[in-house]
Structure 1
Amino acid sequence: MKVHSLHVYPVKSLAGIEVSCFEMDDFGPKGDRRWMIVDEERRFVTQRELPVLARVSASLSAEGVSIRIPGEGDFTLQQTGQELRVLVWRDWVKALEGESFASEALSRFCGKTLRLVYMPDSSFRRVDAGHVSEYRRVGFADGFPFLITNLASLDELNGRLDAPVDMRRFRPNIVIEGPAPWQEDHWRKISVGEQCFSIVKPSSRCILTTVDPDTGLKDPGLQPLRALSGYRRTPDGVIFGQNAIHESPGVIHVDDSVTVIESE
């Protein structure tokens, strides 16, 4: 088994970036989901409510994170010193407000008043304590720093669909090739290159998987979520992929070997 692809998401719910390697820090993949979009009530906004966000791309450079907004142009994201509390799921978290230019352009594009905010190092949001007893941190990701998926599981799912979907629908960080479909359900600890990961929770999928990442439109038949619901429903929800935490900082690369250390 090996790493097929790696992905980072500098801004929560904007298009991801495929990379050849990434460094891991306390938060997870370095820079992953440290930026987020909030509404006028300082509550997080995602493609669940605004699927058109799929059309806003992000890029990384020496200057930091930039986003490209259709019809508005390119903007390098800069945080100000203005602190505010923002809500992501049930967590109120300290953040820094972003400069207004990108936020105003994003608001025009979406037709809704939005703000971009940044999670500084001094902010601490705990990984879901119901599944991880260690006092670990995470950025603005839904609950865990890593999502691991299996290429063969996507192929098996696509065999049930009228039109295949690609892995971008599921927004993984690490895509693995080599194991049989759904073998990832049984993993408890794996190594990727020289780095170890604990598999802590199956990933419950939502309506976001029905958004076409190229058009920002929802599938009228609610695929692939509807297909998954027919045979991948568990007490944890409709499952595709596994949430994970890393044991230490380090770097992983595409083509790194993957070994199952512990399984059920």
Structure 2
Amino acid sequence: MSDFIPDDGSSPLRIASLHIYPVKSCTGITLDEALLADTGLDRDRQWMVVDPQGLFVSQRETPRMALIQVSLKNGEAVLRAPGMLALHLPLDAAEDPIDVQVWDDRLSACSMGRTADQWLSDFLGRPLRLARFDPEQQRYSSRRWTGDVAAANLFSDGYPILVTATASLADLNRRLAERGQPAVTMARFRPNLVLDGIDAYAEDHLDELQFDTPDGPVTLRLVKPCPRCPIPNTDPLTAERGDEPGLTLAGYRADARLDGAVTFGMNAVIVAGIDCRLKVGQKGRGTVRY
């Protein structure tokens, strides 16, 4: 794994960037500050594309989703894509119930209507629907990893917040350069919270992140390494899929905690701080897992 060796009980750090992905597997939005809801950063993965049977669709099998730009403004979610007119959807709009499945979780969601369904189907070239998470539903992370924390999620892959570090990306890009490969951006890894001020892959060994915000203290617990699928091999600007950075990561990021799966970043749950705001540049500390 990594050659990081923890020294003392805490590490100073700061928030380098914050990101949400309102429509699962479409482009993200970079924020200056973000409200911490009980399910993660507010509006993150609130919508999801599904097939006619309700099964979630992602860049894993549909890389072209990387070209769908999402913005939130004036009470609307606005979707844009090459060759398409913009799709405007009221943030809290909901039509008929629809049964959906994300990984092993089957639950009821809210249809966003025929216009949204047709827009996605036309752009992605197959029958699809757009669903919004029903706030009356409940979905939780695996207690195998969260322990005593009941961690609620919307349509994420299973955990409220994904944490990475700028130094980890810098190290990966150094290794890519040594192999004659171009650098990649953090957008490939779709994190929510990116940290500065810690060594490469130090996030692997941190237990909790603590921030003192004007709204109150925030504590995030890093509970599970994030295994990587083919999505980071998709260029977010062109939707073209290659072999990198997956091949390079496979050479040094096999994680024994996940039976040798290739990992990058850590999934986190919220211990304290719901309704507090995190801001870029905010300083904090990380306690070390021994």
The TM-score range, normalised by the shorter chain, is over 0.9
* Residue 158 (structure 2) aligned to one of 140, 143, 161: 143
Provide the rounded CA distance (Å) in 2 between the counterparts of 1:67 and 1:81.
18
Provide the rounded CA distance (Å) in 2 between the counterparts of 1:184 and 1:226.
21
- Deviations along 1:187-230, whole A, 9 cap, x unmatched? 011113431100110111110010000001102xx100111111
**Deviation of the 1:77 alpha carbon:** 2.4
**Deviation of the 1:135 alpha carbon:** 2.6
- For the 8 Å contact 1:190–1:262, the answer to whether it is kept is no
Please state whether the residue corresponding to 2:94 is helix, strand or coil.
strand
Number of aligned residue pairs: 262
**Deviation of the 1:90 alpha carbon:** 0.5
Greater gyration radius: 2
**Deviation of the 1:64 alpha carbon:** 2.7
Match of 1:126 in 2: 140
Q: Which runs of 5+ in 2 are unaligned?
A: 1-12
Bigger mean CA deviation after superposition, 205-214 or 99-108: 99-108
- Deviations along 1:26-58, whole A, 9 cap, x unmatched? 111111101000001110000001101000000
What amino acid maps onto 2:265 in structure 1? Answer: G
TM score, norm. by length of structure 2? 0.88
1:89 and 2:103 equivalent? yes
Q: Which runs of 5+ in 1 are unaligned?
A: none
- For the 8 Å contact 2:66–2:237, the answer to whether it is kept is yes
Provide the rounded CA distance (Å) in 1 between the counterparts of 2:74 and 2:270.
26
* Residue 213 (structure 1) aligned to one of 236, 249, 252: 236
* Residue 224 (structure 1) aligned to one of 224, 245, 258: 245
For the aligned residue pairs, the C-alpha RMSD in angstroms reads 1.2
Counting only pairs closer than 5 Å after superposition, residues 57-76 of structure 1 correspond to structure 2 as 57-76=69-88
Provide the rounded CA distance (Å) in 1 between the counterparts of 2:230 and 2:182.
17
1:45 and 2:69 equivalent? no
Provide the rounded CA distance (Å) in 2 between the counterparts of 1:111 and 1:245.
36
Provide the rounded CA distance (Å) in 1 between the counterparts of 2:38 and 2:190.
20
* Percent sequence identity over aligned pairs: 34
**Deviation of the 1:93 alpha carbon:** 1.5
Provide the rounded CA distance (Å) in 1 between the counterparts of 2:110 and 2:246.
35
- For the 8 Å contact 2:25–2:59, the answer to whether it is kept is yes
Match of 1:260 in 2: 286
- Deviations along 1:52-102, whole A, 9 cap, x unmatched? 100000001122321112211111224433112100000001100012212
- For the 8 Å contact 1:2–1:258, the answer to whether it is kept is yes
**Deviation of the 1:175 alpha carbon:** 0.6
Provide the rounded CA distance (Å) in 2 between the counterparts of 1:192 and 1:176.
12
Give the 4+ runs in structure 1 shifted more than 6 A.
none
Match of 1:240 in 2: 264
- Deviations along 1:106-149, whole A, 9 cap, x unmatched? 11111111100000210111112221133331000001010000
TM score, norm. by length of structure 1? 0.96
